[in-house]
Structure 1
Amino acid sequence: MSTRRITMTPGAHRVLAAASRLFYERGIHAVGVDLIAAEAGVTKKTLYDRFGSKDQIVVEYLADRDERWRRFVAERLDRVEPGSVDRVLAVFDASRSWMTESSPKGCSMVNAHAEISDPAHPAYAIITGQKQWMLELFTDLVREVAPGRADQLAPALMLLHEGALVAHGLRIFPDPIGRARDEAGELLGAQR
């Protein structure tokens, strides 16, 4: 399913920056277009002229975070030798850095899914698409170190990773991503 995107003007960038901050801090449903427009310093008319709807702002917010996340992970993976367990663990290291720097309240996709569970919503494909990409990433990385077990190990790593992201946002115990990384290392160590 292809998700429609808009061409970003300077005003649209201001709207997106304000909406991104507000959506992440307060939740998508709790933030109205009046507040976004006021925070962005644009009129409501400008907001609708650029985006057409709040749903499109949500699409742009999630698509932007997804694109930045994928680049962030790719940059981290480029620093690690291909074909090693360290490449799999680098995903957890990237997540720990990302969450510390830009996602103290947990994964924006998981948080958005708590509010958007209707597959007909235009942002739904972005949310589930990122998680599908993560599973494929783990599968590809595990295939490099344990080719015969990638289809079994990748979902287990995905569960560790996603559970750690949720636990990070809930702040139930310290360093859940580090703990998940250690568990992933043990799981993969058995595959050497």
Structure 2
Amino acid sequence: MTTPAAPTNDARERLAATASDLFYRKGIHSVGVDRILSEAGMSRATMYRHFGGKEDLVVAYLEGEDRTIRSQVAAAGGAPDPLAAAIHGIADDVAHRHTRGCPFINAAAEYPDEASPVRRLIATHRAWFRGVLTQAAAGAGATDPERVAAALVMLRDAALVGGYLDGAESIREAFLDAASAVTGADLA
């Protein structure tokens, strides 16, 4: 006997998807709730049925980004060289997906209060990501995997900002060169 799939909440998903797209392309504070509702074709009452307010939409946006990145890391988990796979994954992300910078850095710039739900989610995501890189560096035999991971996170942050400002393709190659220097890995 098969178990029926849990019903999806189309209104919630459409609101979250619309808000996510607008927040990433236009910036969080420059996008009002009315614009999100208009583009999603939803009423204010529907939004409040699913989200307590705009900040909850921001959290949903970042949770979606976090889920996507975690699933990409999981999919690459069986790679023969997890550290090289992670580095190439970051380079591809800079060049093809996050061409307007890092959604977490962008959100942090708009939410300076470290106690806000947005900043707490960002801190959790970054700690997890740093942990993934630390494990990959340890698996690659790095003598100080935490330092390697910290350097790679810093390089990723710089690459995402630089990719947005200077063009993703030139930054992609510079990121790979710098990551190779940090890790000693041949990333060609």
Give the TM-score normalised by structure 2.
Answer: 0.86
Residues 1:188 and 1:102: Cα distance change in structure 2 (over 3 Å)? closer
Q: Residue by residue, what CA displacement relative to the aligned partner does 1:87-139 show, whole Å, maximum 9, x if unpaired?
A: 22222221232334332101111111110121222111111222112211111
Instruction: Determine whether 1:88 maps to 2:83.
Output: yes
Aligned 1:157-176 pairs, distance under 5 A: 157-171=152-166, 174-176=169-171
1:139 to 110, 134, 138: 134
Aligned 1:33-182 pairs, distance under 5 A: 33-78=33-78, 80-81=79-80, 84=81, 87-171=82-166, 174-182=169-177
Letter in 1 for 2:121: I
Aligned residue for 2:28?
A: 28
| Cα distance in 2 between the residues matched to 1:40 and 1:14 | 6
| Cα distance in 1 between the residues matched to 2:23 and 2:167 | 23
Give the 3-state SS of the residue equivalent to 2:29 in structure 1. Answer: coil
Gapped runs of 5+ residues in structure 2?
Answer: 1-6
| Cα distance in 2 between the residues matched to 1:75 and 1:51 | 30
| Cα distance in 1 between the residues matched to 2:88 and 2:33 | 36
Q: Residue by residue, what CA displacement relative to the aligned partner does 1:116-173 show, whole Å, maximum 9, x if unpaired?
A: 1212221111112221122111111111122532133221222222211111121267
Residues 1:126 and 1:8: Cα distance change in structure 2 (over 3 Å)? farther
| Cα distance in 1 between the residues matched to 2:182 and 2:31 | 41
Residues 1:98 and 1:54: Cα distance change in structure 2 (over 3 Å)? same
Percent identical residues: 31
The number of aligned residues is 179
Gapped runs of 5+ residues in structure 1?
Answer: 1-6
Q: Residue by residue, what CA displacement relative to the aligned partner does 1:33-69 show, whole Å, maximum 9, x if unpaired?
A: 1111111111111111211211111110100111111
| Cα distance in 2 between the residues matched to 1:160 and 1:74 | 21
